[in-house]
Structure 1
Amino acid sequence: MAATIYLHWSATPYTWVRSGAYHTIVAGDGHLHRLHSYTIDLNAHTWRRNSNAVAISCACMGGVPDPWTIPPTDAQIEAMCREAAAVARSWGWSADDITIQRVMTHAEAASNRDGRILHDNYGPVAWGGSGERWDFMQLRKGGPDDGGAVLRQKIRAYLRGEAPASGSTGSTGGSMAPAPLAFRRRSTMTARSRQLAVEIDIHGTSWALAADLLSLYDIPYEWNPLQRRLLIGSNDVAPFYRDDAVQESIGHPLFEMALQGGSAPVILRGILRPDAAGEAAAAAARDAAGDATSGAAFSRAWCRVLEFAEEFGISVTYQPFALGERRGG
């Protein structure tokens, strides 16, 4: 079966998180819990459609007796659509590829509305089904049954780099753009017995340019500007799936660091910050030299130092915070 993204709700409270059924669960506040690699198949999210498929689910619609007492929030819907767009982008899809054959709600899949008759219709009664699954047929109580079409429109907008109109679903929970994470000072730290330039955010977390860290540890890489991805030429990295991974709520545009390959998993996510003094000139110099990894966005790609160390098996010491050698594992 062709690669497909399925959009679900879990029929639970907003805080429900459990591994096994879905690759990612979106909490009520829009926080993404990425539980499984998108490169593996899970067995129980969409009947007879689990192969070569990704399942993203909003934790909602668990009200009893009325599911709509816990409706999908705007924050959830936007986060789910952004994540679906990120998965599609990692597969090389464009906005034109976001069709019902490739991105479906569980309601649409259950009713075989993609034209593939894979099973009996267990979708919404309004679509001739048994009513067992009706995820996102509607985005709000009493609303039209165009939920899938609206979600695909949002995903297309994210793939085009557009910001979908906020509050357009009629559900609870606003979707105002978050304030960007603030940085308070520049500093240096020791990494592999050398000095590494870092910036400290308001929470005391150290960030460094991804290019500096990768070069310091002799890790080959290539910048893909279309996907906002740093592609890593390394075969000894086993990505974590972190609950504290960088989220859209950080308020900065994101980039992804991933292994090379068409459907390689994401290693970590970082941010694209406005050019600091000297970075724009350095990017221009790389451009003039014909460096394929250069570019304005690449020169602004920052990641959390400790997260980078943990993902790449780099030894860490504290007081003072310093990075050692890359030991792996």
Structure 2
Amino acid sequence: MAPTLYLHWTATGYDWIRPGHYHAIISGGGRVHRLHAYSVDLPAHTYARNSNSVALSCACMGGSPDPWTQPPTPPQLQALCEEAAAIARSWGWSADAITVRTVMTHAEAASNRDGRVMHDNYGPMIWGGTGERWDLLQLEKNGPTDGGDQLRARIRAILAGTDGSPSATQPGQPSGAQLQFRGSTTIQARGEALMVQSDAQGTSWALASDLLARYGIAYAWDANGRRVLIGALDVAPTYRDDSVQASLGWPLFTMTLQTGSAPVVLTGILRPSDAGDRAWCRVVEFAEEFGITVQFDPLSLGERRGG
């Protein structure tokens, strides 16, 4: 059976980011926080539907007594659709693959709108349920009750390239919207030269494999999951507010710990080369996540604390 994407809200404030519940949470400003690899199952995001699935959630609807005092924001909903489209594209899906059987809101899943899991209806009361879960039934207060249909239409438009978003660009096809490298140079890392690329903002990027090898960190490439599996036992992900986003326009990869829930250490981009796609990550972010000393002007990396 093909995997399923489930779309949620957290019923919290806009800045609630916690691992263990969803694969990714989108904060109020529209930033996607990837907390677990999309290739692993999490135990409890959607009743009876946690296997072979990915859960994306907007941090919102935590207002009390009226949850609508913290509604989903337009940037959240746009990021939710862009992230869903990026995942769908990584699975080889086209726009016509986005249906209620492949992408569902929690409201729809709770009411078994795809007819796949026959459990008690704990979804919206307008669909005969108990009202326990009604995530994204509506996208705005007093709005129409077709939130799932609206979101799927937006995801299809992104995949078809008709919505104008950067993530509509097909992988490997440079455009003005994609992050571009402006030139290569070298920095010092553990006293030896390391080749890096700089983007238009002056951010330095390096091949993930080069950085991992330089610091003797064991790793393996999981092509199916588009992730780098890290063997280090002394890394605690920080779930950064400035993590790499799909809006950079390139296919993404994640660097994850080799545990059952596969926490994400960082996210990078995949760029084509003569040797195939290569995984690039931001140098300073890598250093900060792995406890490596950093000096600036010029940029250089020192030793890794504890390793």
- Give the TM-score, by structure 2 length: 0.71
How many angstroms apart in 2 are the aligned matches of 1:198 and 1:2?
Answer: 38
Q: Which residue of 2 aligns with 1:306?
A: 284
Contact 1:107 1:136 survives alignment (8 Å): yes
Give secondary structure in 2 for the equivalent of 1:189: strand
Cα separation, 1, equivalents of 2:160 and 2:128? 35
- Corresponding position of 1:108: 108
Q: Where in structure 2 are the equivalents of 1:1-329 lying within 5 Å?
A: 2-163=2-163, 188-191=186-189, 193-194=192-193, 196-199=195-198, 206-208=203-205, 210=207, 213=210, 236=231, 240=237, 242-244=239-241, 246-248=243-245, 252-257=248-253, 268-270=266-268, 291=274, 293=276, 303-308=281-286, 318=295, 321-323=299-301
Deviation at 1:201, TM superposition (A): 6.3
Tell me the CA shift for residue 46 of structure 1: 1.1
How much does 1:91 deviate?
Answer: 2.5
**In 2, Cα distance between the equivalents of 1:267 and 1:162?**
33
1:85·1:155 contact (CA, 8 Å) conserved in 2? yes
Match of 2:174 in 1: none
Structure 1 pair 328–118 and aligned structure 2 pair: CA distance change class (3 A)? farther
- 1:6 Cα deviation (Å)? 0.7
Which letter does structure 2 place at the counterpart of 1:41?
D
C-alpha separation between the residues in 1 aligned to 2:26 and 2:34? 9
- In structure 2, give the amino acid aligned to 1:189: I
Q: After superposition, what is the alpha-carbon deviation per residue over 1:149-176, rounded to whole angstroms, capped at 9, x for unaligned?
A: 11111122222344368xxxxxxxxxxx
What letter matches 2:195 in structure 1? L
> CA 1:29–1:141 in 2, change beyond 3 Å: closer, same or farther?
same
Q: Find the residue that maps to 1:254 and give its secondary structure.
A: coil
Contact 1:112 1:121 (8 Å CA) reproduced: yes
CA contact (8 A) 1:38 1:265 kept: no
CA distance in 2, matches of 1:156, 1:328: 47
Residues 104 and 197 from structure 1, CA distance in 2 versus in 1: closer, same or farther, beyond 3 angstroms? closer
Aligned length: 284
Kept in 1, the 8 Å contact 2:32–2:245? The answer is no
Q: Which runs of 5+ in 1 are unaligned?
A: 166-178, 274-282
- SS of match in other structure, 1:208: strand
Q: Shift in Å at residue 113 of structure 1?
A: 0.3
Give the partner amino acid of 2:149. A
Distance 1:111 1:253, change over 3 A: same
Give the drift of 1:17.
Answer: 2.2
Confirm or deny: 8 A CA contact 2:284 2:294 kept in the other structure.
Answer: no
User: CA 1:96–1:237 in 2, change beyond 3 Å: closer, same or farther?
Assistant: farther
Percent identity reads: 52
The alignment's C-alpha RMSD in Å is: 4.3
Change beyond 3 A, Cα 1:139–1:108: same
Following superposition, the deviation at residue 26 of structure 1 comes to 1.0
State the shift of 1:210 in Å.
Answer: 4.0
Contact 1:60 1:71 in 2 (8 A): yes
After TM superposition, give the deviation of residue 110 of structure 1 in Å.
Answer: 0.6
Task: Supply the distance in 2 between the matched residues of 1:212 and 1:109 (Cα, whole angstroms).
Answer: 40
* Matched AA of 2:240: D
Change (3 A) 1:292 1:215: farther
Rate the CA distance shift 1:292–1:235 in 2: closer, same or farther, 3 A. Answer: same
Distance change >3 Å, CA 241–CA 255, structure 1 → 2: farther
Segments of 5+ residues of structure 2 without an aligned counterpart are 166-176, 256-261
How far apart are 1:235 and its partner, in Å? 7.4
Q: CA deviation at 1:45?
A: 1.5
Higher relative contact order (CA 8 A, sep 6+): 2
